[in-house]
Structures are given as structure tokens and as C-alpha cells.
């Protein structure tokens, strides 16, 4: 994402993802938001509270960058503040969650509309990373967490662009000394992640491989082999 065209295309995709997210939560009931999500230990309410919080954090970073203001923390109170806000917000009603997510989406999209290509490399309060990284953050968070809700949005809808981004962003999940060759069975797509001498080939549909790399349950079969012998899937490190 280095040109005005790159940025415009990414923002268009974010708007598509945002619209799908809002449609997915449009008819949720209070019982629905209290039910388990696909993330262990989290209800749908936890996922929605996290989406509202991470979106607000991303929007704040973009707003400060656009205005040329001093950098601020992504979350008030850091990681502890983030976790506390999710727990406090998880029990909200379906209508409250809908309103919060809609307000966050509107705020993010408003901020994105004012981002200029020339500020993409400027540092932010998001771990010192640049404005462009904040844009990518919301892109992947909105898309992946929409699937975590388990309300009809599936990883089968992830684009080739998102797969490529996840391959790069999540490469550090591959343990030291290991190289994982992702071999798609439904597309002519292969990607090596990690640079170790121990090589494991992981096979599956392209989006199932991306889901596995992202720590999500693939919808189809994903298997691993070393030197032609079937082995367990590698244990991946936490998200970066």
C-alpha cells in the first residue's frame, strides 16, 4: 500500500467488509449475543465489544495522524484497559452492540476518508507502527472477527489480498528453525513461511490455510507432512 490507488482499493474493500459486518449483526437478539462465539471463552458479545474497541482505537490513531497531532496510546490503559473494556461491554444488549459497532464503523470510515498517501509512513501510537499499519489492522480485524461471530460470515469469503497480508503479518507465528510450505489444494498458490531447515508442508484449501495460520478453525481438511510422511500440524506461536 504505497500509492493513492493502493490506498483507495484497500479502503473500498474495508467498506465492503464493514457493510457485511453490519448486515451480519443486524438481526441478532439478546440471546444471540450472549451465546458462544467461535473464539474459546468469548461470547458474541465479547467479539462485538472488541470490534467496537479496536475500531475506536484505530480511528483515534488515524484522526491524530491526519490532524498532525501528538501520538496517543491505542487503548486507554493499555492491554489491561482493553481487556477490562471488553469484559464490561460484553454483556450489553443486542441493540447496544449494534449501535456501538455501527458508530465505530462510521468513525473508522470517516477517518479513512481523510487519510492521504503521504502520511502512510508516519508513526502512530499503535506500537510505533505507521499509519498504513493501522489501516491494515482494521482491514484484518473487521474481516476475521466477523467470521468469529459464527453468524453466516465465513473465511471462504477472504480475498487473495487478505490471504497474502496474513501470510506476511503472521509469519512470526512459525517457530524458529521451521519452514512451513503452505500448499493450496484448490488454487495454484504456494507460499513458504519461515526460513528454518525443518520443512513441513501444510495442505488445504487456500482460505483454510489462512484460517489455520490465523488460529481459526478451517472449514475443510488441513493436513501436514514432512518428507512425504503425515505429521501433526505445527504448533504456532501467539499472534504478533
d(CA 219, CA 136): 24
Which pLDDT does position 76 carry in this prediction? 87
Residues 4-153: name the CATH superfamily. Answer: dinb family like domain (1.20.120.450)
- 229-231 vs 178-184, strand pairing mode: unpaired
* Topology alike, domains 4-153 and 161-231: no
190's enclosing H/E stretch is: strand 190-193
Query: pLDDT tens-digit profile of 198-234?
Result: 999 999 999 999 999 999 999 999 999 999 999 999 9
The structural domains of the chain, with segments of one domain joined by +, span 4-153, 161-231
Q: What's the CA angle centered on 169, arms 102 and 212, to 5 degrees? A: 85
Which pLDDT does position 2 carry in this prediction? 57
Q: How many CB atoms lie within 10 A of CB 150?
A: 17
Q: Whose grid coordinates read 487503548?
A: 75
d(CA 180, CA 114): 39
DSSP string, 169-189: HTGGGSPTTEEEEEEESSSS-
- In angstroms, the Cα distances linking 227 to 4, 44, 115, 181, 231 are 45, 41, 48, 12, 10
- 229-231 vs 223-226, strand pairing mode: antiparallel
Band (pLDDT 50/70/90 cuts) for residue 142 is very high
Which pLDDT does position 53 carry in this prediction? 96
Which pLDDT does position 12 carry in this prediction? 96
Alpha helices of the chain — where are they, by DSSP H?
4-25, 30-34, 44-67, 78-90, 94-112, 131-148, 160-169, 206-213
Record the cell numbers describing residue 43, joined without a space.
Answer: 461470547
198's enclosing H/E stretch is: strand 198-204
Query: pLDDT tens-digit profile of 143-184?
Result: 999 999 999 999 999 999 999 999 999 999 999 999 999 999
Please check whether residue 111 is in contact with residue 104, taking contact to mean a CB–CB distance below 8 angstroms.
no
Query: pLDDT tens-digit profile of 75-124?
Result: 988 889 999 999 999 999 999 999 999 999 999 999 999 999 999 999 99
d(CA 84, CA 57): 15
Domain boundaries 161-231, corresponding CATH code: 3.30.1050.20
Which pLDDT does position 1 carry in this prediction? 54
Query: pLDDT tens-digit profile of 7-26?
Result: 999 999 999 999 999 999 99
DSSP 71: P
202's enclosing H/E stretch is: strand 198-204
Record the cell numbers describing residue 53, joined without a space.
Answer: 474497541
Amino acid at each position: 500500500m504505497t500509492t493513492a490507488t493502493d490506498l483507495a482499493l484497500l479502503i473500498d474493500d474495508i467498506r465492503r467488509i464493514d457493510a457485511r459486518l453490519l448486515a451480519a449483526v443486524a438481526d441478532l437478539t439478546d440471546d444471540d449475543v450472549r451465546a458462544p462465539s467461535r473464539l474459546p471463552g468469548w461470547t458474541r458479545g465479547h467479539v462485538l465489544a472488541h470490534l467496537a474497541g479496536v475500531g475506536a482505537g484505530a480511528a483515534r490513531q488515524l484522526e491524530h495522524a491526519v490532524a498532525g497531532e501528538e501520538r496517543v496510546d491505542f487503548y486507554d490503559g493499555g492491554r489491561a484497559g482493553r481487556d477490562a473494556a471488553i469484559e464490561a461491554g460484553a454483556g450489553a444488549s443486542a441493540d447496544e452492540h449494534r449501535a456501538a459497532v455501527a458508530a465505530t464503523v462510521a468513525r473508522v470510515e470517516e477517518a479513512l476518508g481523510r487519510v492521504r498517501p503521504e502520511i502512510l509512513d508516519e508513526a502512530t501510537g499503535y506500537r510505533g507502527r505507521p499509519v498504513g499499519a493501522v489501516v491494515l489492522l482494521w482491514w484484518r480485524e473487521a474481516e476475521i472477527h466477523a467470521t468469529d461471530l459464527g453468524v453466516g460470515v465465513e473465511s471462504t469469503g477472504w480475498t487473495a489480498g487478505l490471504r497474502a497480508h496474513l501470510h506476511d503479518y503472521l509469519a512470526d507465528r512459525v517457530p524458529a528453525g521451521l519452514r512451513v510450505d503452505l500448499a493450496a489444494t484448490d488454487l495454484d498458490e504456494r507460499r513458504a513461511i519461515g526460513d528454518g531447515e525443518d520443512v513441513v508442508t501444510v495442505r488445504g484449501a487456500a482460505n483454510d490455510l489462512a484460517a489455520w495460520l490465523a488460529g481459526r478453525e478451517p472449514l475443510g481438511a488441513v493436513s501436514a507432512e514432512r518428507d512425504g510422511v503425515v505429521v501433526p500440524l505445527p504448533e504456532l506461536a501467539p499472534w504478533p
